[in-house]
Amino acid sequence: MSYPDRPGGRVGRAGRLPELLVPGLLGALILLFFAIPFAAFLARTGAVGVLETLATPEARVAIRNSLLTAPVSTAIATVLGVPLAYVLARRSFPGKRLVEALVILPLIVPPVVGGAMLLTAVGRFTPIGAAAAAAGMPLTDSLLGVILAQTFVAAPFVIITARAGFGAIDERLEQASRSLGYGPLATFWNVSVPLARGAIVAGIVLTFARAIGEFGATMMVAYNPRTMPTRIWVEFIAGGIDAVVPLALALLGITLAVLAAVQRFGRVPTVIDR
């Protein structure tokens, strides 16, 4: 027997379409806004020698620099950021709001402004920058400068995402580990990290995607050596849209792989939800 006033009844099923019509139409508009630029850009690829351009020395150097620096930036952000995420998820302490603000700040500040901030801290004429340059490790216009810029803008992703993962863990599981004689570090490594691994992996992937696509801060701190985004800008200035298609396609391919990884690993394991 079907009850019209219940969700599974005739009225419930018939009423779903009108209820979702307006949200669906509005959502379709934003999806169309997302899709049209991709379609228009991909439509230009047929007239461009993609493989020939990617084989040029300049393109290969840019790809190599991006694939060298982005993993290093991601590793630094992960090693330093995941422990901070755990502390923020599990502890209250004086100044916590300030720490949280500092984590979020690089996401809010425009990347070019972030690059200017880095220059005021580690530029060639600052005490830190001068000391590093004297030691043969300049922090600007070098791969180290690229890593600094990428880490500054990308690290918040792994911190925020990992914090959400740690916050979803039942603290009683960690307490049980401690009651069995495991110390704080052993509990963190053997209990907390495995349970939050889905969120941590998602944060790592997002951090890598942000790092490899970083342009604004990198342009300020290390315009040379070129990375893929800075090389794309140089090609655009010299030759317009068609000139940037090959490198942009390569970068798009990497980001699509990142998207697939987020969809694969992005969900926190179900054990946390139980």
Reference 163, options 83, 258, 271; nearest CA is: 83
Beta carbons within 10 angstroms of residue 13's beta carbon: 12
Rg of the chain, C-alpha, whole Å: 23
Least confident of 44-53, 90-99, 209-218, 222-231: 44-53
Q: pLDDT tens for residues 230-243? A: 999 999 998 888 88
Would the pLDDT of 187 be above 70? yes
Least confident of 41-55, 85-99, 156-170, 256-270: 256-270
CA angle 140, 245, 228 (to 5 degrees): 20
pTM: 0.83
Would the pLDDT of 11 be above 60? no
Beta carbons within 10 angstroms of residue 162's beta carbon: 29
* Domains of the chain listed by start with CATH number: 1-43 (no CATH), 50-273 (1.10.3720.10)
**Cα–Cα dist 90/62, whole Å:** 41
**Cα–Cα dist 46/153, whole Å:** 34
pLDDT at 269: 41
State the average pLDDT over residues 12-21: 66
> ω before 37 within 30° of 0 (cis)?
no
Q: pLDDT tens for residues 120-171? A: 999 999 999 999 999 999 999 999 999 999 999 999 999 999 999 999 998 8
Would the pLDDT of 5 be above 60? no
Terminal-to-terminal C-alpha distance of the chain? 34
> To 10 degrees, what angle do helices 111-122 and 127-134 make?
70
Cα atoms in the 13 Å half-sphere on the side-chain side of 52 = 6
